Amino acid sequence: MKEQPAFLPMTMEEAERLGIDRFDIILISGDAYVDHPSFGTALLGRVLWDVGYSVGVIAQPDWRSNDDLRRLGEPRLFFSVSSGNVDSMVNAFTPNLKRRSSDVYSPGGKLLRPDRATLVYTDRIHALYPKTPVVIGGIEASLRRFAHYDYWSDSVRQAILADAPADLLVFGMGERQVVAIADRLAAGEPVGALTDIPGTAYRMDLKTWRSMDQAGYVVLPGYAEVKEDRYAYARAFALHYNEQDPIRGRPVAQPHQKTVVIQNPPAMPLSGEELDRIYELPYARRAHPSYTEPIPALEPVRFSVVSHRGCFGSCSFCALTHHQGRIIQSRSIDSIVREVERMARMPEFTGVVQDVGGPTANMYGIHCGRWETAGTCPDRRCIDCPALDRSHEEQLRLLRRLAEIPGVKRVFIASGIRYDLIPPDEEYLAEVCEHHVSGHLKVAPEHVAKRVTAAMGKPPREAFDAFRERFEALQAGKKKRQYLVPYLMSGHPGCRMENMVELAEYVRDTGLYTEQVQDFTPTPMSISTTIYHTGLDPFTLKEVYVPKGREKRVQRALMHYRDPANHALVCEGLRAAGREDLIGSAWNCLVPARGKGGRPTRAGPNPRQTRRPPR
């Protein structure tokens, strides 16, 4: 074990002060280097250092010249390449395909990351060091490990390993994989022999593939087929989706024009003890001192804590099943307490723990007895299973322990709560509202129309209504009440214009805030993206309606019907849905009518309702 440095070195001067003349491993990232466990470079770099490897960081290199990529020389074992914490295309473009003007993962928000960063960095580093192994990973590579629909080019692209000159792809959370790769390369194995590491994908030449015994592999329709045939694309997705379990998953192969891409089964989840060790490594929780401008992405999470990994919510628009998996892996309460105690000693700490959570905060401590031996069930969703232990007692114990730490004033939950998991008694919800949210509790119903919530994999409207009633009951008698802030989504597959009108009316009738509205973005390897591209449910192959083009703009405008700038689009959507009755001056109208010159006009009697009904 090497003694951990204050920061992973970014220059040879720093390396020399640590007694390093050549790094074992060099991490290349599209993010600025922030030494915080929420940032992948810091997490993997610290893990590798912890097991004895020297690690250097090249953050946001200028890919248009060789100088940055040569800055640390050639590593002894391998280069690791990642686009960063985010997909570079999602980071660069809005859902309407407009280029963003800033990057929160860069100093001062500057635009320093290339489009398709993993490909660009890998091409450049391979050209400079053709004999050194290159391993790609991170969210961008992980979710492009098979042929996939690419929203930004509106085309089906090859698996990234068929395009990038990389030797291995690490998918999911990569700690086990990168340590195994480092150990085996250090032992003298050639990188071409590393074809059996769970949680990795690799290439095989077509001749070898055709001559070998393919029994035991799940063979997907090839790239040429899925590119042209939407049914083949949908079938391929369903096949690899069902193999993303670390215990029952099988190797998956997909032929391409010049190669075959093979995915091994996912890596086994880390144990609670392993998670504790990783998250208790000595992260500085600061940006590297070489930066003269702040990294905007750091401040919202600087004093946040990861309590667990995994999510069994199975939302259709989320690709987490393909990345962190459905099995919940929770840290121990004692470990999280120690982490917050260290945070509380930092001079910048003001007493507020910004977040304690994971993909879904209230899945902490939830467990299923099958997970360790049989994995997740292939024929049902965990969220719907009566056998799942849904107790929230462990999370409440955690929050109470953290609140007792000297110097801690408030412990917030900011990572979202799955309201259909909350126990029927009032203890959990009352305690969370009283102590762990500020004025607003964020939840994610996403929609209320039955067909849309079904397509999204979200609970029906009735579940949200029941939760809303429980929440409102807790506000009775409070001097300073709290409010629900729902996350809502427009333009999702399955959503027709009349469904967006239904959601707009729901917002009107409940008085909910609508600031947190997003337009559906088809990102790789989600169920929803497959439906968006194919118009098919990948599991049933039934047709699904998909809004595209201008209709997506109109649907989004309906969620912001109060904004006068959206008046024309809202009227267009209401007319398309046959709801002209919602244009006018009656109480239930969403927008006023307008006469010549765009001025509001007085409307006659509304054909559906002329007076607001009593409450």
Question: Which tokens sit at 183?
Answer: 């150990």
Q: Quote the DSSP letter at residue 273.
A: H
Q: Is 70 exceeded by the pLDDT of residue 613?
A: no
225, with CB counted inside 10 A (0-12, 13-18, 19+), is: middle
Q: Determine the average pLDDT of the residues in 76-82.
A: 98
Residues 349 and 421 in one domain: yes
CATH classification of the domain holding 486 = 3.30.750.200
Residues 459 and 424 in one domain: no
What's the pLDDT at 612? 44
Four-point Cα dihedral 508, 509, 515, 519, nearest 10: -70
Residues 380 and 413 in one domain: yes
Question: What are the tens digits of pLDDT across the range 531-582?
Answer: 999 999 999 999 999 999 999 999 999 999 999 999 999 999 999 999 999 9
Element (H, E) at 134: strand 134-137
Q: How confident is the model at residue 600 (pLDDT cuts 50, 70, 90)?
A: low
Query: Cβ distance 573 to 500 under 8 Å?
Result: yes
Residues 192 and 259 in one domain: yes
Helices of type H across 457-587: 461-474, 497-510, 527-534, 550-559, 567-576
CATH classification of the domain holding 383 = 3.30.750.210
Residues 250 and 381 in one domain: no
Q: How confident is the model at residue 597 (pLDDT cuts 50, 70, 90)?
A: low
Sign of CA dihedral 505, 510, 511, 513: negative
Q: Determine the average pLDDT of the residues in 61-73.
A: 96
Helix 497-510 to helix 567-576 angle (10° resolution) is: 120
What's the pLDDT at 607? 38
Question: What are the tens digits of pLDDT across the range 319-334?
Answer: 888 888 999 999 999 9
What's the pLDDT at 365? 95
Q: How confident is the model at residue 609 (pLDDT cuts 50, 70, 90)?
A: very low
For the residues of 333-357, what is the DSSP string, one character each? Answer: HHHHHHHHHHHHTSTT--SEE-EEE
Decide if 135 is inside a domain.
yes
If DSSP codes are grouped into helix, strand and coil, which group holds residue 112?
coil
Domains held by the chain: number: 3
What's the pLDDT at 582? 97
Decide if 284 is inside a domain.
no
What's the pLDDT at 517? 87
What's the pLDDT at 598? 53
What's the pLDDT at 602? 42
Decide if 2 is inside a domain.
no
> Of the residues 263, 291, 323, which one is the last residue of a structural domain?
263
Residues 90 and 177 in one domain: yes
Enclosing domain of residue 35:
12-263
Question: What are the tens digits of pLDDT across the range 365-414?
Answer: 999 989 999 999 988 899 888 888 889 999 999 999 999 999 999 999 98
Question: What are the tens digits of pLDDT across the range 473-523?
Answer: 999 888 888 888 899 999 999 999 999 999 999 999 998 877 778 999 999
Q: Determine the average pLDDT of the residues in 34-44.
A: 97
Residues 474 and 423 in one domain: no
If DSSP codes are grouped into helix, strand and coil, which group holds residue 517?
strand
Q: What is the pTM of this model?
A: 0.94
Q: Is 60 exceeded by the pLDDT of residue 216?
A: yes
CATH classification of the domain holding 249 = 3.40.50.280
Decide if 474 is inside a domain.
yes
Query: Cβ distance 546 to 535 under 8 Å?
Result: yes
Decide if 4 is inside a domain.
no
**What does the alpha-carbon distance between residue 268 and residue 373 come to, in Å, rounded to a whole number?**
11
**What does the alpha-carbon distance between residue 564 and residue 594 come to, in Å, rounded to a whole number?**
11
Decide if 287 is inside a domain.
no
Decide if 274 is inside a domain.
no
Supply the mean pLDDT for the chain. 94
Residues 108 and 182 in one domain: yes
Q: How confident is the model at residue 608 (pLDDT cuts 50, 70, 90)?
A: very low
Residues 223 and 109 in one domain: yes
CA 74, distance to chain mean position in Å, is: 32
Q: In the Cβ-directed half-sphere of 349, how many Cα atoms lie within 13 Å?
A: 22
Question: What are the tens digits of pLDDT across the range 123-173?
Answer: 999 999 999 999 999 999 999 999 999 999 999 999 999 999 999 999 999
> Of the residues 380, 406, 437, which one is the last residue of a structural domain?
437
Q: In the Cβ-directed half-sphere of 560, how many Cα atoms lie within 13 Å?
A: 17
What's the pLDDT at 37? 97
Task: List the beta strands (DSSP E) in 217-340.
Answer: 218-219, 252-255, 260-263, 286-287, 304-306, 308-309, 329-330
Helix 333-344 to helix 272-279 angle (10° resolution) is: 10
**What does the alpha-carbon distance between residue 337 and residue 137 come to, in Å, rounded to a whole number?**
31
Residues 471 and 410 in one domain: no
**What does the alpha-carbon distance between residue 498 and residue 599 come to, in Å, rounded to a whole number?**
26
- CA gyration radius for the chain? 26
Decide if 579 is inside a domain.
yes
Q: How far is residue 541 from each of residues 231, 232, 544, measured CA to CA in Å?
A: 7, 10, 9
What's the pLDDT at 416? 83
Q: Is 60 exceeded by the pLDDT of residue 298?
A: yes
Query: Cβ distance 134 to 79 under 8 Å?
Result: yes
> Of the residues 437, 472, 502, which one is the last residue of a structural domain?
437
Residues 16 and 121 in one domain: yes
Residues 117 and 96 in one domain: yes
